[in-house]
Structure 1
Amino acid sequence: MADSMVDQALLETWNRRHAEAEDLGRVATVVEQNLHLVKPGVQALDLACGRGATALYMAAAGLDVTAWDLSPVAIQRLELAAAEQGLSIRTAVRDVIAAPPEPASFDLVLVSYFLERSLAPAIARALRPGGLLFYQTFSRAAVSDEGPRSEQYRLGDNELLDLFAMLKVRVYREERCLGDTSRGWRDLAMLVAERV
């Protein structure tokens, strides 16, 4: 009973955040910088998509996009935006922790600003051979206050490489607090990795 109350509270929190947000969010940098690695038409999953800025970006670029999120409010906002932009995106309200993607079901899986370490093997298995994982989220080595307060939801040093060691690294970036912290790509880690 306590678990369902926690889940309901979490859902209410996310529904409220998505309802109150002024926009659809921002496109994941890992996708903006690396989409050239993907052929148009591939089947892509935006896992825990939020309001769907990146799902819309991928669909506009010619990918066959599926987008899942726990929040019905987020999915509703994404569906409305997709209809307004004339884009086709398959959406579902889905608890990805309880129901991760099926093995070998996508050519690309995007995870952006979501960290559930126990899902890493299922996410890797969801890729078809030659498929790519695009992942970015917050690092514990931060120079700003952006992102979650709890270290549970932040990556340790090189943690993405460890979580997805079964995949072949194609792009990795984690600047941490090196050098001039007023410049560069800070507070985050990104990975593009291939299932070979």
Structure 2
Amino acid sequence: MTFWDKAYDTPSYKYGTQPNAFLRAQIHRLAPAGRVLLPGDGEGRNGVWLAAQGYGVLSVDGSAVGLAKARALAQQRGVTLTIQQADLAQWQPEPASFDAVVLTYVHLPSALRTSVHRRLAAALRPGGWMIIEAFHPLQLGYTSGGPKDVDMLYTLDALRSDFAGLLREELAWDGVVPLDEGPGHQGPAHVVRWLAQSAF
């Protein structure tokens, strides 16, 4: 089993079954019934919630265990979720085919991060939104979750650099928020929140 297969191989949902708070706060920006890509969607909490709001959702993850739990959650909630198992390091989404890309705590090593981010930005249609929440390097001082390797933690400057020339920044913030996302994310956390739009 992979690291994430082991992490998800429990009866409970590691990060809960409710959507991320930043995603919930920004969803009003999306046109109704749009198509949303969720790379690294894990056990499906965000994808299932978006599907319940009427969006067409593609949840992509490398963990077969996580995706099986996403299917179960979608069935329980009575929604349709399209699922694909793939390694984001190599996976190539169809260009200009999504109205939004949602990255919630998808942490990649810096050697991969920029190329993956740029491929995901290219998947946005004109006017499409990139919605990101991730842990900041200062998260190393907290016990509420996230990688323990600073190379896999994100700053606003790194995100701006990754998407330079592709997306227009709408919102950029970093600071401490309270997390209550299943057993995996509990307590105060230092995060980055970044929202940007593809050029029309």
Counterpart of 2:42 in structure 1 is 50
Instruction: Give the CA deviation at 1:16.
Output: 1.0
Instruction: Give the CA deviation at 1:134.
Output: 0.8
User: Helix, strand or coil: the match of 2:102?
Assistant: strand
Counterpart of 2:190 in structure 1 is 187
> Going by fraction, where is strand more abundant, 1 or 2?
2
The answer to whether 1:20 aligns with 2:10 is: yes
Counterpart of 1:89 in structure 2 is 81
TM-score by length of structure 1 reads 0.84
User: Helix, strand or coil: the match of 2:9?
Assistant: helix
The separation in 1 between residues aligned to 2:146 and 2:20, in whole angstroms, is 14
User: Helix, strand or coil: the match of 1:123?
Assistant: helix
User: Helix, strand or coil: the match of 1:79?
Assistant: helix
The number of aligned residues is 179
Instruction: Give the CA deviation at 1:82.
Output: 0.5
User: Residues 125, 20 of structure 1: CA spacing in aligned structure 2 closer, same or farther, 3 A cutoff?
Assistant: same
Counterpart code for 1:107: D
The answer to whether 1:122 aligns with 2:119 is: yes
The separation in 2 between residues aligned to 1:106 and 1:96, in whole angstroms, is 16
TM-score by length of structure 2 reads 0.83
Q: Which runs of 5+ in 2 are unaligned?
A: 177-187
Counterpart of 1:37 in structure 2 is 29
The separation in 2 between residues aligned to 1:39 and 1:157, in whole angstroms, is 26
The separation in 2 between residues aligned to 1:21 and 1:157, in whole angstroms, is 35
Instruction: Give the CA deviation at 1:77.
Output: 0.5
CA contact (8 A) 2:105 2:135 kept: yes
Provide the alpha-carbon RMSD of the alignment: 1.9
CA contact (8 A) 2:156 2:192 kept: no
List 4+ stretches of structure 1 deviating above 3 A: none
CA contact (8 A) 2:47 2:57 kept: yes
Instruction: Give the CA deviation at 1:83.
Output: 1.0
Corresponding residue to 2:128 among 120, 126, 131: 131
Percent identity between the aligned chains? 24
Larger Rg: 1
